[in-house]
Chain A
Amino acid sequence: MSTHNNDTDPLIQEWMQGNLTDDDLEQRIGREELRKYQQILSEVDQWTPSLSDEVFDPREILDRKSAKVVPMINWRTISVAASVAVILTLGFLFFRDTGTEYYAAYGEQLEFELPDGSDVVLAANSTVRWEDEDWSGETRRLVLDGKAFFKVIPGSKFSVMTDQGSVEVLGTAFDVSTFGVGMWVNCYEGRVLARDVSKAKAQIIKAGQSSLLVDGSWERIVPIKDESPLWLGKKPTFKNTPILLVIKEIESLYHVKVITGEVDMNRRFTGSIPTDDLSLALKIVFGTLGIQFEIDEDQVLLSQD
């Protein structure tokens, strides 16, 4: 029979809150009891109802209301939705006449300020562009092709559009990279709302989290420890990263074209690569995966037995 020893309740409470050390509690309740509590809590602490934090899109709710008769807000919602639609469809057509474009060349990194004072670090072979009207009034919006780190000054909604999806924030620090079949978002401060290009799948990514959109669906959120992207320190580091994204990085850094041929690209890579030694970088990435490579001027040919 278990006896209720209520005297120790406040101690257990303090201990669960982290205000009492393991040793202190052990002295009062004994080693075995302490270990049982620890085992229970360490198990429960790893649980989650669902590893996918995919949530429905709040815009659906905002839009739903616009269908009803609610004056004022109704009108505003529609005008916001309409302006987004227009920019998505026409943005590319008229861009060059009225916009601004930054391009970081192969092997380079470019730092600049946006019209609102937010900072951008643009990775090699990447482009950020926007139209004048994307930065008028309450709007803050730009188009990214490639990879960039954003340190956003708090304020109105800040949107990054890519061909794979979009990311929205109010004020935070995060980076986004796109590659052939997906988009990768790392959040370092605050939180962001990222959506695939169809806008059907929204994912909330919080500070210290990373999430990968591949072939239209979000992979489980994984924690990141860094306070800013490792690539800002110039040494690209990958953790269980799709090989296509690693190849894109190598192509941008060394201005080469990687010909994948018949090699299975459905692989992942974990590790860091140098930025000044192509042969070593290739050896690190492909050596571990059992893929052979051959450098032919500005081409890298891959093969596999």
Chain B
Amino acid sequence: MKDKSVCEEQVFIHIHQEQSVPLRNFLYYRFGSLEKAQDCAQESFVRLWENCSKVAFEKAKSYLFTIANRIFLDDVSHQKVVLKFEKHESMSSIQMEHNPEYVYRESEFKSQLETAVSSLPDKQRTVFLMSRIDKIPNKEIAETLDISIKTVEKHMTSALKSLKEQLDELKDFKI
């Protein structure tokens, strides 16, 4: 069977459908500006299309994420990342009642967690959010970012523990 080529329009559109939102989100987690993340994701797809004959189909994903990372680094001087999130409609208030350890009003908990997430080291934060928000399996995160699964797992655990510690400190501080 002939290998898939990124230069085929259907293949390209398929990659675009699969990856445009995860790519935009990755850039947001990493650098903190949604608008720039969107532009930069688009620019990365333009580069992929321009270089379609040089990029193997299996490498298209990691090519996109690598090139996006580079475009973004060239573009902005690195600023402090401050992330804000929207929330899916859900049963969050019910869950809160079952999990009353951090007894904040919901909006307060959200903003404190946002601050804590924003202050995580870049790679931890990016991997953690790709896994939790975009539900990307560890193996795929590893492939996309060109790191080992062990590293992905380490980032995940460190991120969660560090978030808990930050919230604990805030709580102690309040009392």
Q: A residues within 8 Å of B by Cβ?
A: 2, 4, 9, 12-13, 16-17, 32-33, 35-51, 53, 55-56, 58, 61-62, 64-65, 73, 76-77, 80, 156-157, 170, 191, 193, 204, 222
Contact = CB atoms under 8 A, between A and B. Distances in A.
Contact of B85 (A32, A36, A48, A191): A48
Given A64-B46, A80-B9, A204-B17, A48 B88 contact: yes
B34 A49 contact: yes
Contacts of B156: 13, 16
Given A2-B168, A32-B101, A62-B49, A40 B13 contact: no
Interface of B: 7, 9-10, 12-14, 16-17, 20-21, 24-25, 28-29, 34, 37-38, 42, 45-46, 49-50, 83, 85-90, 92, 95-96, 99-102, 109-110, 113, 117, 128-129, 132-133, 138, 153-154, 156-157, 160-161, 163-165, 167-169
A16 B160 contact: yes
Contacts of B49: 61-62, 65
A42 B133 contact: no
A77 B13 CA distance: 13
Given A77-B9, A170-B10, A42 B17 contact: no
A46 B13 contact: no
Nearest to A9: B157
Given A39-B99, A49-B85, A62-B49, A12 B160 contact: yes
A97 B132 CA distance: 54
B95 A61 contact: no
Contacts of A76: 9
A2 B50 CA distance: 51
A58 B86 contact: no
Given A9-B157, A35-B100, A49-B86, 4 more contacts: A35-B99, A40-B113, A44-B129, A47-B85
A193 B9 CA distance: 14
20 contacts: A12-B160, A16-B156, A16-B160, A36-B164, A36-B168, A43-B113, A44-B128, A46-B90, A47-B129, A48-B87, A55-B20, A58-B12, A58-B16, A62-B9, A76-B9, A77-B9, A156-B10, A170-B14, A193-B17, A222-B89
A170 to B, nearest CB: 6
Contacts of A191: 17
Nearest to A156: B10
A41 B160 contact: yes
Given A42-B95, A64-B46, A65-B50, A47 B160 contact: no
